[in-house]
Amino acid sequence: MLTPPVREVLDDARNPLGVAGIEFIEYATAKPQAFGQVLETMGFRPVARHRSREVLLYRQGEMNIIVNAHGGSLARTVQPGDTPVIAAMALRVRDAGEAYRQALGRGAWAVPTTVEVMELNIPAIHGVGATRIYFVDRYRDFSIYDVDFVHIPGVDAQPPALTGLHWYGVVQYIGNDRMEDWSEFYGELFGFHALPDEERHGILPKGRILASPCGTFFLQLIEPEPGILDLDGEESWQRIGLGTPDVLATVKALRERGVAFVESAGVHTETRGALTRSSLGGVMFELVHDGR
């Protein structure tokens, strides 16, 4: 049989793991209550508690944030400190086991699992610094939280998103001369691709933006300022970006809840985006105009 000529990139080649968005972002912090208050001002609600560890699930709309105060003993694990830091990102994929095997086959580091009895084994690989990237395929009829978490009684398990907030992406700080390495890493393992330089969203357009293969979220890679000596070259996920159809309406709603925004000559609230002021020693959230 003749093979028909290839005239287009088929979906499978562009998105080999079937990535379909962010399932959750996990923060590590030794001050889970203080950080919980920050999340609540941002519109998140605590909805469930982990069965065996000091871990809480916050939610609004489609977004799940896990707040983990439990360090763990594995090497290359983000240890909770006073300032909450992003410790993990979970990607929705077509088949978690298959995604995990494919990623390992292309050069990802497996994270050893340490599940307790009756807990879900969520496959994970190492990300930037000590972070992890989880693969989750149970997000439609059945959710991972049904197994490992207990719902907090009397709380709406599906709190609506404030002013249409949704995942926009994650900002990653990288070391000097590391732009190509990380672009290749996300491209090779997951199918991310760089946006053209002229295509920028929000108010902080630095660096390079990588679009997820499903096109629903972004990673922004930011190098140190030129001329700044980067002694330790530390790399991390610095902040999350939240998309909103109306930045000004979201800013107004958040201000009423007590959130403060950066208003300087360089960075200030406008229709394209906004940046919350740093709290708890460095946590900030970026708002980006995004009509979805």
Partner 1 sequence: MAIELFDIREFGMDTISLAGTLPAKLAAVRAAGFSQIMLMARDLVSHPAGIEDAVREVQASGLRVTGFQVLRDFEGLSAHLHDYKVEVAKAMLEMCHAVGSKVLLVCSSTSTHATGDPDVLARDLRKLAMLAVPLGIRIAYEGLSWGRSINEFTTAWDVVCRADVPNLGLGIDSFHAVASRTSLEELDLLDPSKIFLVQLADFMWHDVPSAAERIETARHFRVFPGEGVHSEQIAELVRRLDRLGYRGDYSFEVFNDDYQQMPLPMVAERARRAAVWLGEDVLHRSVPLPGRMRLRR
- Alpha-carbon distance of 81 to 87, in angstroms, equals 11
**Choice from 12, 33, 95, 107 touching partner 1 (CB under 8 A):** 107
Phi, then psi, of 147 in degrees rounded to 5: -90, -50
- DSSP per-residue codes, the chain: -PPPPP-S--HHHH-TT----EEEEEEE-S-HHHHHHHHHHTT-EEEEEESSSSEEEEEETTEEEEEE----SSSS-PPP-SS-EEEEEEEE-S-HHHHHHHHHHTTPPBPPP-PPTT-----EEE-STT-EEEEE---SSS-THHHHEEEPTTS-SSPPPGGG-EEEEEEEE--TT-HHHHHHHHHHHH--EEPPTT---SS---SEEEE-TTSS-EEEEEPPPTT---SS---EEEEEEEEES-HHHHHHHHHHTT--B--SSSS--BTTEEEBPPBTTTB-EEEEE---
Output the smallest distance, CB 78 to partner 1, in A: 13
| Complex with partner 1: residue 168 or 186, whichever CB lies closer | 186
Q: Which stretch binds partner 1 (CB under 8 A): 14-22, 91-99, 106-114, 267-275?
A: 106-114
Residue 184 touches partner 1, criterion: CB under 8 A: yes
**Choice from 95, 181, 199, 263 touching partner 1 (CB under 8 A):** 181
Output the smallest distance, CB 75 to partner 1, in A: 9
Output the smallest distance, CB 85 to partner 1, in A: 16
Residue 202 touches partner 1, criterion: CB under 8 A: no
Q: Which stretch binds partner 1 (CB under 8 A): 41-49, 154-162, 180-188, 275-283?
A: 180-188
Residue list 214-243, contact with partner 1 (CB under 8 A):
229-231, 233, 235
Residue 177 touches partner 1, criterion: CB under 8 A: yes
Residue 246 touches partner 1, criterion: CB under 8 A: no
Output the smallest distance, CB 184 to partner 1, in A: 5
Output the smallest distance, CB 157 to partner 1, in A: 35
Residue 69 touches partner 1, criterion: CB under 8 A: no
Residue list 156-175, contact with partner 1 (CB under 8 A):
175
Binding characters for partner 1, 109-128, by CB under 8 A (x = yes): x----------------xxx
Residue 97 touches partner 1, criterion: CB under 8 A: no
Interface contacts to partner 1, rule CB under 8 A: 105-109, 126-129, 175-178, 180-185, 188-189, 229-231, 233, 235
